[in-house]
């Protein structure tokens, strides 16, 4: 593959991969990581991301980000950075597109509610659920469950994992126990995720009216770039001014990440992916930019994610998830046969209920709650 001729020695290369769980013939016209990307795009869980939202619930507006548009933005940012660092663009794209496949409806509120429901039964981690989607839950192939992705794609999807759960996962969880790093592509996808959601949450927050430009002016990263925009385009206002500001913020974060990461990589004198795994994290912002990004995250947590109108929807979302979980555990016959475990296997039934709820879109969860609890719904 011509692209792979430009890879650095420390980039992930399909020929040196641990491979797939189930052996398959090599693809004829694409790389193994391109095959992973294509399988992810065509799977059912990826399509459902269109109706799973970030901060705002799906019915609250057509212009707010969904998990699908977010994942596409993450992939675009990650590929741009990967190309500059001579990393594997196909791998970083596959990880970026798959990282939210296991996320619940209603964003983090749904995840927190489902985790609370499963607290006595292993809990619920959306990164682990994303891995479960591609390893087990997708049903597209006759020879195996899941998508049978490459090891490096799967480890990139599993960004975080408790030590308890890591011990049950074999090779894919061993790095959490050994305190080793994943590939640079996985590290990059993680920070591209952060760049994307911080900046599009500003956009959505302003669009919704829950944030104001005056508030954001107090945040250095936003205020500095907004003033720059006003100097270049005197009199600019409205959506055009916001978009110009945000794109400059994204560019500043990307350029800083490239420069800081390249410096750390050069200092580490890497000769292979194994050197990456044994090193400290190498994909990183500069200390100054990291401080600014942290202040931005703190601002968004206080002023957007904890806004009283968001809290109202968060409260509803938790109630929907909790009540659905309780109803399905109390009476599994409310579920379709695919989600009913053999009688007496309580652990399997709990996990099936968690799989079912985690796979719901926002609007499906709302409709399902009505069907279960409202007498005028069927």
Question: What pLDDT band is residue 44 in, cutting at 50, 70 and 90?
Answer: very high
Q: Cβ–Cβ contacts within 10 Å for residue 305, how many?
A: 18
Determine the pLDDT at residue 4: 61
Whether the CB-CB separation of 121 and 350 falls below 8 Å is answered with yes
Q: Of 284 and 199, which is predicted with more confidence? A: 284
Cβ neighbours for 129, distance < 8 A, ≥ 6 positions apart: 101, 102, 103, 354, 355, 358
Segment 216-221 mean pLDDT? 94
Report d(CA 3, CA 16) in Å as an integer: 16
Segment 222-237 mean pLDDT? 95
Determine the pLDDT at residue 5: 61
Segment 26-51 mean pLDDT? 95
> What is the three-class DSSP state of 53?
strand
Q: Which CATH superfamily is domain 2-207+302-309 in?
A: Hypothetical protein af1432 (1.10.3210.10)
pLDDT over threshold 60, residue 61: no
Determine the pLDDT at residue 343: 87
Q: Cβ–Cβ contacts within 10 Å for residue 248, how many?
A: 18
- The alpha-carbon radius of gyration of the chain (Å, integer) is 22
Determine the pLDDT at residue 218: 92
pLDDT over threshold 60, residue 63: no
What are the pLDDT digits (tens) for 236-290?
Answer: 999 999 999 999 999 999 999 999 999 999 999 999 999 999 999 999 999 999 9
Determine the pLDDT at residue 114: 96
Question: What pLDDT band is residue 64 in, cutting at 50, 70 and 90?
Answer: low
Determine the pLDDT at residue 65: 76
Report d(CA 230, CA 226) in Å as an integer: 6
Question: What pLDDT band is residue 160 in, cutting at 50, 70 and 90?
Answer: confident
> What is the three-class DSSP state of 66?
strand
Span of 63-72, 206-215, 343-352 with lowest mean pLDDT: 63-72
Question: What pLDDT band is residue 235 in, cutting at 50, 70 and 90?
Answer: very high
Span of 31-35, 107-111, 292-296 with lowest mean pLDDT: 107-111
Count of positions (residues) in the chain: 378
Q: Of 353 and 52, which is predicted with more confidence? A: 353
Q: Of 165 and 266, which is predicted with more confidence? A: 266
Q: Of 67 and 377, which is predicted with more confidence? A: 67
Q: Of 83 and 54, which is predicted with more confidence? A: 83
Segment 348-374 mean pLDDT? 94
Determine the pLDDT at residue 6: 85
Determine the pLDDT at residue 58: 45
- Chain-centroid distance of CA 264 in Å reads 25
Segment 204-221 mean pLDDT? 91
């Amino acid at each position: 593959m011509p692209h792979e001729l430009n890879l650095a020695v420390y980039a992930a290369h399909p020929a040196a991969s641990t491979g797939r769980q189930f052996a398959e013939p090599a693809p004829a016209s694409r790389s193994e990581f391109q095959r992973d990307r294509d399988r992810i795009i065509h799977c059912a869980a990826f399509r459902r991301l269109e109706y799973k939202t970030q901060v705002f619930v799906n019915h609250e507006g057509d212009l707010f980000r969904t998990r699908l548009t977010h994942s596409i933005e993450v992939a675009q940012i990650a590929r741009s950075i990967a190309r500059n660092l001579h990393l594997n663009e196909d791998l970083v794209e596959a990880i970026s597109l798959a990282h939210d496949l296991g996320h619940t409806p209603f964003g983090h509120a749904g995840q927190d509610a489902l985790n609370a429901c499963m607290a006595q039964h292993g809990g619920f981690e959306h990164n682990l659920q994303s891995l479960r989607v591609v390893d087990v839950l997708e049903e597209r192939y006759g020879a195996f469950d899941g998508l049978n992705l490459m090891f490096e794609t799967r480890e990139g999807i599993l960004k975080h994992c408790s030590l308890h759960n890591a011990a049950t996962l074999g090779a894919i969880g061993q790095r959490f126990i050994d305190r080793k790093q994943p590939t640079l592509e996985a590290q990059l996808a993680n920070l591209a995720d952060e760049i994307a959601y911080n900046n599009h949450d500003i956009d959505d927050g302003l669009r919704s009216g829950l944030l104001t430009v005056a508030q954001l002016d107090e945040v250095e990263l936003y205020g500095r770039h907004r003033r720059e925009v006003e100097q270049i385009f005197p009199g600019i206002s409205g959506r055009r001014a916001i978009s110009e500001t945000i794109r400059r913020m994204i560019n500043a974060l990307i350029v800083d990440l490239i420069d800081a990461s390249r410096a750390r990589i050069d200092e580490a004198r890497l000769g292979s992916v194994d050197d990456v795994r044994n090193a400290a994290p190498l994909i990183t912002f500069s200390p100054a930019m990291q401080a600014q990004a942290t202040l931005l995250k703190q601002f968004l947590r206080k002023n957007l994610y904890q806004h009283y109108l968001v809290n109202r929807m968060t409260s509803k979302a938790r109630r929907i998830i909790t009540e659905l979980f309780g109803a399905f555990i109390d009476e599994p016959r409310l579920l379709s046969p695919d989600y009913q475990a053999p009688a007496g296997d309580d652990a399997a039934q709990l996990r099936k209920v968690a799989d079912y709820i985690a796979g719901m879109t926002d609007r499906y969860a709302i409709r399902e709650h009505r069907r279960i609890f409202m007498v005028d719904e069927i």
